[in-house]
Structure 1
Amino acid sequence: MSKSSQADPADKIAPSILSADFARLGEEIHAVEKAGADMIHFDVMDGHFVPNISIGIPVLESVRRMTKLPLDAHLMISEPARYVEAFVKAGANLISVHCEVCTDIPAMAKRIRGLGARASIAINPETDADRVMPFAEHLDMILVMSVHPGFGGQGFIPAALDKLRHIRRELKRRGLSIDVEIDGGVKLDNIADVKAAGANVFVSGSGVFGNPDYRKIMGEMRELIARIPATI
């Protein structure tokens, strides 16, 4: 269980390689690692749960060999139970499964943790956060989608801020200290707002990889989030 009286979890920046140059993937990962990334976000899409197909287990295995950073595997797939073990074996440190396709959140979390990874549940923009909150004590992280999953480069959905506030407020009320991740459209112009609303893990694809200087952009992001108190 993640019940704790400790301080709020640390802030983490997780560049999403969905926006990286795949012809230079190894160089891109080394570049964001050197620039100070805390995690690498790995988007998996199956063409069923979301209307797009991305990357899978062989690529994650390759990425694992390229970096010592934690790999944050976001499974946007319709049958995650079939694949979580393979992703953990391939090197994922954290697995996010969508609540929309997970009928037993505690069982899924127990399985992921039993495999040696951290367990997270993701929530689509149209899904109420209270679908997940009853099971928060079983989780290491809750992932809030601030775009409709499937494609990179979308604009941030402002309603995600209210969802973040609700989640962090409920976690604090229940004495739970777990990560809250935001994924979708996170850039310099809104990262302070999502920190203030309760997120502490910031996935950014084009917000990082769309800039020529990864160290500079992530440094500016850190400066902005560091100004926001870690209390909701």
Structure 2
Amino acid sequence: MKISPSLMCADQMEMMRHIVSLIKLGVDQFHFDIMDGNFVGNLALNLNIIKKARELTRTPFDVHLMVQNPSTYFDQLIEYGADYIIFHLETKEDIQKNIDYLKSKNVHVGLALHLDTPVSAVEKYLNHIDRILFMNVQTGYSGLSFDPKVYEKINTLYSYIKKKNLNIEIMSDGGIKLEHVKPLYENGTDTIVAGTSMLFNANGFSNNLQSFKTIRAQLPIRKECDLPLYTPETLYKAAVLKEVNKFEVQQKPLRPLQDHEALIKVMSCGVCGSDLVRVYKKGMYSPNLVPGHEFSGTVVKTNDANGSLLDKRVAVFPLIPCKTCEHCKSQKQNLCENYNYLGSRTDGAFAQYVIAPKENLIFLPDTVSYDEAALIEPMAVALRGLKKLSDLTHSNVIILGLGPIGLLAGMLAKKMGAHTVTGIDRYEFKQKIAKESGFTTTYGPTDTPPEKSFNVLIECSGSSKLLDNSIQLLQKESRILLLGNHEQDFVLSPKTISTLLRGEIRIYTSWNSLTVDPGNNDWKICADYIAKKELNIAPLITHKYPLSDIKQVFDKIINKDIRSLKVVINPNS
């Protein structure tokens, strides 16, 4: 792997001196950014810098043109000694005409791609160019954070050019830190452009360059994936959240599978309250991702030679742990410090296909339907919480909020020996489903259950007011389990605080679920309950829709145009 210092990020007053120092330190080439303030909203180096630098060295120069009309710069760049001229695929000029002109002048040609430009857009030019530069950040700005979704794009192109035996160098530019060097290399990057995040910072470029060389010396041999460049056969439909409240179904390209992954054909994906929050309020961790984390489907592709997983029916645990933090090492993957997550940090399952780690697959008994399996995720969350309470035998349980997790918690509490299970919810249709699902009784939020009648309270409503009022219903030495997410401030009255203290009421919290213990896997336990018909969760599914209707469905849910409990999307129906 080669390194190309981005001179835009160097001290401009000491530019020539820095170039001489970097030459002595053994850099592979130099990177010059030229901007016009039009194609991108910034200005960078002027062309005379290239001319002056060329007087100092014959080290290769690659020039990245972030300009609206790149052809107007070509002749002067050639005159000043540019070895590689890289211009953007997204410009309005004739791409092939520009490539042909530069080739006629014996200049190496590169194409640059914005972060959100698909790899497929460059396919027809690959036989005519020498380099591809992938932007890892918004084009034209320094100091931005590296976007890891570029790994997939790089790996896809790398696999394709190896398969086609093309001689194209892959460059990566923007936000690169030392921690990104190895995964960039493993996914196919040949040259990294090093700026403020990696080279020109307080640590000093000499020290940073030495650190890079140490990492480079330890890099393994790269593995090539065999999935071809995006074609109609590898496109799939997905509901993409471009930004808050901009949610639409579009064609999305499949990336290559890695050896530890499986491609899942999604058969059912539940709509979670957190999906609504992301679509209408918070957004995803990065734009243009696919939500959806409660899902099931069929394995249709792996890289395994024996194909043992093909056609297996599965639910999928969406949390992808780092496996290196202290919590992961102690088998508490739900508390992982550096996790990835299907449906919020990487593409989820409101799509025809999703890629997931093979170790996250939960194999389904034949008696569990795909729609039922989509409820295993919230069911496992409820089960994990109830386990924190230990013995529920003979308990009198009150559950605040009869959404899916509240209802599932009540059903599980009865399964685990609770004497009575009472629910509170504002909606009568949810109260009706609760009674049909085995709840002893239900109340509306303005009703008054008898005080001191309960010794376990499970909060699933997200309402601190309801919790504040309901704590007065508890006996001394009761237990409270907090399961609901709260979007507003959590406020308890002085009277309630006094009740908690004087009654020595214990408060438990729980987050997500666990699958690492083979003998106590929350997901397998839930799947077994459903398979054996020990819990009937089918009535919780009130609506089913195809993927094409998803935006209208989300609007209906958020506007309360439908009385829904659990809505599922069937992407391949």
Q: TM-score, length-normalised on structure 2?
A: 0.38
Q: Deviations over 1:161-211 (max 9, x none)?
A: 111011101111211121000000112111111111110111011111115
Q: Which segment is superposed worse, 38-47 or 28-37?
A: 28-37
Which amino acid counterpart does residue 44 of structure 1 have in structure 2? I
Which amino acid counterpart does residue 146 of structure 1 have in structure 2? N
SS in 1 for 2:86: strand
- What displacement does 1:128 show? 0.8
Contact 1:109 1:139 in 2 (8 A): yes
- What displacement does 1:89 show? 0.9
- Asked if 1:147 is matched to 2:147, the reply is no
- What displacement does 1:153 show? 1.3
* Residues in 1 aligned to 2:21 and 2:154: alpha-carbon distance in whole angstroms: 30
SS in 1 for 2:166: coil
Counterparts of 1:214-225 in structure 2, within 5 Å, are 214-225=205-216
Segments of 5+ residues of structure 2 without an aligned counterpart are 225-573
- Asked if 1:210 is matched to 2:204, the reply is no
Which amino acid counterpart does residue 131 of structure 1 have in structure 2? A
User: Residue in 2 aligned with 1:35?
Assistant: 25
**Bigger Rg, structure 1 or 2:** 2
* Residues in 1 aligned to 2:192 and 2:70: alpha-carbon distance in whole angstroms: 23
Counterparts of 1:46-195 in structure 2, within 5 Å, are 46-101=36-91, 103-195=93-185
Q: Which segment is superposed worse, 102-111 or 31-40?
A: 102-111
- What displacement does 1:38 show? 0.4
* Divergent runs of 4+, >6 A: none
Q: Relative to structure 1, is the Cα distance of residues 211 and 91 closer, same or farther in structure 2, using a 3 angstrom cutoff?
A: farther
- What displacement does 1:101 show? 0.6
- Asked if 1:45 is matched to 2:32, the reply is no
CA RMSD of the aligned region, Å?
1.5
* Residues in 2 aligned to 1:113 and 1:228: alpha-carbon distance in whole angstroms: 34
* Residues in 2 aligned to 1:191 and 1:88: alpha-carbon distance in whole angstroms: 31
Which amino acid counterpart does residue 199 of structure 2 have in structure 1? V
- What displacement does 1:212 show? 4.2
Q: Which segment is superposed worse, 120-129 or 215-224?
A: 215-224
User: Residue in 2 aligned with 1:7?
Assistant: none
Which amino acid counterpart does residue 100 of structure 2 have in structure 1? K
* Residues in 2 aligned to 1:24 and 1:103: alpha-carbon distance in whole angstroms: 35
More helix by share: 1
Q: Deviations over 1:44-103 (max 9, x none)?
A: 011000000112221211111122211110000000011112111111110000000154
SS in 2 for 1:209: coil
Counterparts of 1:2-13 in structure 2, within 5 Å, are 11-13=1-3
SS in 2 for 1:148: coil
User: Residue in 2 aligned with 1:4?
Assistant: none
* Residues in 2 aligned to 1:66 and 1:149: alpha-carbon distance in whole angstroms: 29
Contact 1:119 1:140 in 2 (8 A): yes
Which amino acid counterpart does residue 147 of structure 2 have in structure 1? I
- Asked if 1:230 is matched to 2:222, the reply is yes
Q: Percent identity?
A: 28
- Asked if 1:14 is matched to 2:8, the reply is no
SS in 2 for 1:208: coil
Which of the pair has the greater relative contact order for Cα pairs under 8 Å at 6+ separation? 1
SS in 2 for 1:109: helix
Contact 2:187 2:222 in 1 (8 A): no
Q: Relative to structure 1, is the Cα distance of residues 211 and 178 closer, same or farther in structure 2, using a 3 angstrom cutoff?
A: farther
Contact 2:158 2:188 in 1 (8 A): yes
Contact 2:172 2:193 in 1 (8 A): yes
* Residues in 2 aligned to 1:198 and 1:211: alpha-carbon distance in whole angstroms: 29
